[in-house]
Amino acid sequence: MKIRTRLFLVFVLLVVLGFTALVRWIADDLRPRYLESLEEGLVDTANILAEVVATDMAAGRFDPQTLQQTFAGIYQRRFHARIYALDKFDVEVRVYLTDAQGVVIFDSTGRDVGADYSRWNDVARTLQGEYGARSTQEDPSQPSVSVLYIAAPIYVGGELQGVLSVGKPAYNAERFLAVVKQNLISAALVAGLGVLVLGLGLYVWISWPLERLSHYARAVQAGERVKLPHLGRNEIGAAGAAIEAMRQALAGKDYAQRYVQTLTHELKSPLAAIRGAAELLNEDMPLQQRQRFMANIRHETQRIQELVDRMLELAAVEKRQTLEQVEQIDLAELAQDAIRSLETQLQRHDITAYNSIATGLTVRGERFLLRQALLNLLQNAVAFSP
């Protein structure tokens, strides 16, 4: 597996783990925050009702039966309150009062009048002058839903007369939590997907130049003539430029060595012929023979010039990395042009060249390079013809 692929997979794993941990942490912290909000509202309600009851007791107007009838009417009320995603249709609050000993003297549900609540935390702590609250699971069919009770003291004339406790089930809070968790998960998925897409874009942005650089390096290693791709003005581009400079330096050294070897080999024969003719010219000989040796010297000199010109042309071709002027080329016309260029050599060797390429046959390429290749073939054919 490639290193950049491993890095991307590690990035994906970190994103998944990071978003999962974040969602779990936020979701776990939501429940206490919702219960805190519910409890804060119950504190206000309990203290308001406790003061109302204390006022009625001080005036001698407090009647548990009247309060019971009031709550009976409250429980029968039907309404529709759309609270964000929650539809509420009835009142779910339970209210009970105890005397100073913790005995229930009023219960809005009517079920526990006369019961001893002095040991329940909400009543016991309030009677002791502390903040009284408790959370109790009252419905066995819903073990995950608890009822939160908040108590407030009832003072009449500065003396503690009892406790008023307000209870409310927390299942609506659970519904709110479920909706919020679902929205949180959806948002985390969208955000995580966005981060992964950005990460993928970053991966492609970084890995694509690396891939192009890798292909270029392999092509150079294989001896292919390839142009350095555009890699950007960054560290990758600098690495590519360094490889290209190294390739050119090595190619220049290798080419210079091959150039010198080839030129030395090719020049041996004409130089030997010139040396031999020059030595013979120092001797007395007939004019006709002297002229023949002079013609040989001129011929070998022309041969050296042709070798030098040919090597210079090959050097120009060797330096080319890409095609520069690509066009549609007529092969018959190109061959005829090459034959005309070698007409003198053909006559010297008494060779006749025929162009049998059909007219209209074309290829797409660079005229200079194709002409040089064809000239090389024809020159080799002329040079090694019997």
Amino acid 73: pLDDT: 92
Q: Which residues contact 152 (CB under 8 A, 6 or more apart)?
A: 43, 46, 47, 49, 50, 126, 132, 163, 164, 165, 166
Contact partners, residue 91, CB within 8 Å, separation at least 6: 74, 75, 77
366: which strand partners?
326
Crossing angle between the packed helical segments 3-59 and 171-221, to the nearest 10 degrees = 170
In a domain, 7, yes or no: yes
Give the pLDDT band (50/70/90) at residue 384: confident
Query: Are residues 23 and 116 located together in one domain of the fold?
Result: yes
Identify the domain containing residue 67 by its residue range. 3-186
Centroid of chain to Cα 198: 4
| Cβ-contact 206, 4 below 8 angstroms | yes
Indicate if 147 and 280 belong to the same structural domain: no
**Where a domain ends, among 290, 322, 354?**
322
Asked if the structure places residue 191 within a domain, the reply is no
Identify whether 219 is part of a domain. no
Assess whether 318 and 352 both reside in one domain: no
Residues 282 and 343 in one domain: no
For residue range 238-295, list pLDDT tens digits in order. Answer: 766 676 666 665 565 555 566 666 666 666 766 766 777 677 777 777 777 777 777 7
Whole-prediction pTM: 0.49
Are residues 314 and 288 located together in one domain of the fold? yes
> CA–CA distance from 39 to each of 62, 81, 133, 174, 347 (Å)?
27, 21, 9, 14, 114
* Same domain as 269, residue 131: no
CATH number at residue 371: 3.30.565.10
pLDDT of residue 319: 62
Question: Looking at the structure, do residues 262 and 354 belong to the same domain, yes or no?
Answer: no
Segment of 156-165, 246-255, 269-278, 373-382 carrying the highest mean pLDDT: 156-165
- The answer, yes or no, to whether residue 165 has pLDDT greater than 80, is yes
- 258: tokens are 């091959």
Query: What pLDDT score was predicted for residue 132?
Result: 95
In a domain, 205, yes or no: no
Spatial contact of 179 and 188, defined as CB atoms under 8 Å apart: no
CATH code, 280: 1.10.287
* 266 assigned to some structural domain: yes
What's the pLDDT at 55?
A: 94
One-letter amino acid for residue 367 of the chain: R
Q: How many domains does the chain have?
A: 3
Weakest mean pLDDT among 203-212, 239-248, 319-328:
239-248
Q: What is the DSSP string of 124-173?
A: HHHHTTS--EEEE---TT-TT--EEEEEEEEEETTEEEEEEEEEEESHHH
Q: What pLDDT is recorded for position 9?
A: 79
- Pick the closest to residue 21 from 173, 197, 184, 190 (CA basis): 184
Stretch among 27-36, 99-108, 220-229 having the lowest mean pLDDT:
220-229
| 210 within domain boundaries | no
Residue 215 lies in a domain: no
Domain match, 316 and 340 both: no
Q: Indicate if 8 and 118 belong to the same structural domain.
A: yes
Asked whether residue 116 is domain-assigned, the answer is yes
The more confident residue out of 104 and 184 is 104
Q: What mean pLDDT, rounded, does the chain reach?
A: 80
Matching residue, tokens 């061959």 = 335
Residues 72, 10 share a domain: yes
* 48 pLDDT more than 90: yes
Whether residue 286 is found in the same domain as residue 142:
no
Q: Tell me the residue ranges of DSSP E strands in the chain.
A: 81-83, 86-88, 94-99, 104-107, 133-136, 147-156, 159-169, 326-330, 362-366
Q: In the prediction, which pLDDT does 225 show? A: 64
Residues 140 and 248 occupy one common structural domain? no
Report the pLDDT value the prediction gives residue 155, as an integer from 0 to 100: 95
The band of 4, judged by pLDDT with boundaries at 50, 70 and 90, is low
DSSP state of 282: T
Indicate the helix (H) or strand (E) that contains 248. helix 235-281
The CATH number linked to 28 is 3.30.450.20
Residue type for position 170: A
